[in-house]
Amino acid sequence: MLSIIIPVRNEADNLEDIFDYFSNNLKNLNYEALIINDFSRDNTLINAKVLCEKSKNFKVLDNKKKGLGGAINFGIKESSGKYITIMMADHSDNISDLLTYVKLMDTGKYEAILGSRFLKESKVIDYPIQKLILNRIFNFFVSLIFWNKYNDYTNAFKIYKKTALLEIMPLISESFNIFLEIPLKIISRNYSYKIIPINWTGRKKGETKFKIKELRAKYLFTLIYCFIEKSLLNLKK
């Protein structure tokens, strides 16, 4: 089984689209979609409960610790699948890429598939140019610091074996920086992984929760934390 963790905060306008998108395109896949409500102040929770009554594949859970990092941690612990993927509620991730993820994981060769929006074969639509440039620069320096070829740490959409995620816990990041912490730990601890191109489309509804100025310190903290951990792991070898 595949567990799809969907963290949501004030995403009432996007939930029905996500439900229809999954229901229409994942008919042949054994999956559960865990909608993790992160203290929404709109009708997200109400709408999620209505949708979950329509399908056994969908479940809604209330986050116990406020913040995106808390929602992801909670979703991992509550998941039932052999594989776990994280998809945002803004409809930016592509279902065909998800099916490719699962197919590659089923080969048994990998413990993670790391999608990248920044490979030659990738297709990116409606990405604000300033954000794109900053993202590319940041990912370049992360790859340089950690001496690896992966170039899209800031995107949530990847897939992991649940056993691998449980082994790299605790995940201490509180916000979007958790999407940096997870792949850095996976790579630093020498789990088997494959990098593939993915497609990404900018948000059409709702408001982005990603605020660069507010998150700079959090990303820096995660970088330092993961670098120290990697250095300690190297000393033990």
Write out the chain's pLDDT in tens, 237 residues: 999 999 999 999 899 999 999 999 999 999 999 999 999 999 999 999 999 999 999 999 999 888 999 999 999 999 999 999 999 988 899 999 999 999 999 999 999 999 999 999 999 999 989 889 999 999 999 999 999 999 999 999 999 999 999 999 999 999 999 999 999 999 999 999 999 999 999 877 666 656 666 688 999 999 999 999 999 988 876
18 HSE (CA, 13 A, CB side)? 30
10-30 in b/e form (b: 16+ CB < 10 A) is: bbbbbbeebbebbeeebeeee
Phi, psi at 33, each rounded to 5°: -110, 115
Note down the domain range covering 173: 2-236
Q: Determine the length of the chain.
A: 237
According to the model, what pLDDT value does residue 206 have? Answer: 65
According to the model, what pLDDT value does residue 205 have? Answer: 67
Closest CA relative to residue 110, chosen from 11, 191, 224, 210: 191
Two structure tokens written together for 25: 């395109």
- Helix 129-146 to helix 178-188 angle, to the nearest 10 degrees? 30
Query: Contact 147/226 with Cβ under 8 angstroms?
Result: no
Two structure tokens written together for 18: 């996500």
User: How many C-beta atoms lie closer than 10 Å to residue 147's C-beta?
Assistant: 8
Instruction: Check which CATH number belongs to the domain holding 204 and give it.
Output: 3.90.550.10
pTM for the model stands at: 0.94
CA distances to 36, 41, 59, 113 from 45, in Å? 9, 9, 11, 31
According to the model, what pLDDT value does residue 216 have? Answer: 86
According to the model, what pLDDT value does residue 236 have? Answer: 73
Domain total in the chain: 1
